[in-house]
Structure 1
Amino acid sequence: GHTTGYHYVMTGYKPNFADGDNPVPNNDFYPSIGSVVSRELGSRGTLPAYINLPHPMAAGGPGFYGAEYAPFVIEADPSQPDFEVKDLLPPSQISPERLGLRRKLLAGVDRLQRQRDQGPANAMSTYYGKAFDLITSPEAKRAFDIQSEPDQVRDNYGRNQLGQCALLARRMVEAGCRFVGVDAPGWDVHFNCFPSLQTDLIPYADRAFSALITDLEQRGLLDETLVVMMGEMGRTPRVNAQAGRDHWSMAQTIIFAGGGTRPGQVIGATDAQAAAPITEPIGVNDLLATLSTLMGIDPTKTYYSPLGRPVPIVDGGKLIQGLV
């Protein structure tokens, strides 16, 4: 199902399950690709290295890497007139002087805690430091101020949740974020799929994606920004009795742009029914190995879990030929 698919495409690992009777995967162990990027590349400014919007990405957590590499989640719709990033400003009743005193007090507590417990204390100290920098940073406030964009630019992306999330993602990349995950719900079209695809899903996605690519290219950012549009699974070649399409894991389409990829080509092919590949199959680990390499990350690099288990960034996989 969806949860298993999310876990596989975000981590490259088959999911663990909470127990033998529970079909819901447990993503407490394997880090997502966003958390890998956060750990390997870090942030280029005061913005977090890894951001999700407009809600948390399924299976997008840090796993055993720890909270320091978890995504900063913007749980708000940037297409709404009252959009704001919650908790970005300090409480109005706390003066800058009092806020500074609180930070000094926290630093003292951190020093004492680190003397007792090095690992978790250091991780949380870094986490708190980044949070403080975020709420006091003028650069962060400007990056999240989507209302400052010209009306024409906002119109180009589409005045809907997906379009404005794509625009906000561009602003965050400009401000130093390394990995932005934009979740676009609504594509689980098991019933009466054709009207929703034709009137809402495809037009909104087409407009947002094309506007993002054009905008990045005009700003000179496309060559250094990798854009990937994909889902966690494909859909059945056959239309079901409810005029919808069900889950299908044998084939799906992924769109790449920028980031050193070669444009204007189709890689791989399926049979006439789009049911199964007729060229060499490309798997999830091939995808993640290619993404990692394009971002300057060694996919074979290995970290050790708290129990000493070796966990490579990508479990196997090879570069997608023709894409790079």
Structure 2
Amino acid sequence: MKTSGYYHIWLIGPDSHYVTRLCHRLSLNPDHLVRRFTTVALALAYRSAATAMPNALILDGDGPEGLPRRLVRKLRERLPEATCFVLASEPDAEIEEDLQSQGINHYLRKDLGSPERIWEALAAARQPTAVTAPALQAPEAPAGMLLGQHASMQQVRELIAKAARTTITVSVSGETGTGKELVAQAIHAQSGRAGQPFVALNMAAIPRELLESELFGHEKGAFTGATARRIGRFEEANGGTLFLDEIADLELVLQAKLLRVLQERAVTRVGGTQPVPFDVRLVVATHRNLAAEVEAGRFREDLYYRMLGLPIELPPLRNRGNDILLLAQEFARTFSHLNKLPARAFSAEARQRLLGYAYPG
């Protein structure tokens, strides 16, 4: 029933803060396409002309006219394959029995936790499709996408969207392997700099004696082997985004030079005398606790506050619940696609083992 690569959700109910918030939460998953209708009648009218039918229906039963059961029954008859939710501030047992007889799958109380329960139910409804997909079906998730439906990942996506609307420096923290560079890429892709360069540099992977040249560039003859001028990463990323990973590994001498560069918004190449202005969005990351590094004297306090900007902390996978299964299914499906193998489902035992492992990072 899925079409155009999206999971189609129709959210039906009068305008309200709850419905707006729920719509926003559902839309945070880039695989979701959410349509809003203020009444069931409008949804029925749209269904007559729609080419893409919904995979899920979510009805708010607290409208001024209550839940129009005749129209709900009609909607259910015309869209029998969609997973159907009805939401109510005060669920009623008699109404629940009637709704179940009409094929309603979920009758939920509207509260602070209901969006998360809807996320989990949607993930469960989609799981069979994701596991038993045809062998050579194109991947559903774009490469590098931040997958996850856990509340902590929803918060990360909200911070990414907030960062993308500004030019503020972003500091990303989290254990090794939690996806810090993916966050930087997502901020870049959603920002006004998306068409400009995205440049990444791992500070721990560059020999100390070469790091200054990598960052700021060098002039011809600046040192032995410098046979030509070379621009650094700040100039390379001009107009776009510069991602500096493992920033805590930067030596104190270079920290002072980096601080001056950030203050003046210009670099002076090694062996040069003329400052070169730049315009970059800076995203930094580390798996260490930078505040503790400052306390220990290994990281400059003034540079710390210059780079702190908007902090984003990534949760470790072991704390993300059913996201473990979501990621495992995605990796298995992608592997099957790339190697022209038939898709296979995880057994109940395999799922239990995946959920029970204490993942580092």
TM more than 0.5: no
What is the TM-score with the length of structure 1 in the denominator?
0.29
Which has the higher Rg, Structure 1 or Structure 2? 2
With normalisation by structure 2, the TM-score equals 0.27
Structure with more of its chain in strand, by fraction: 2
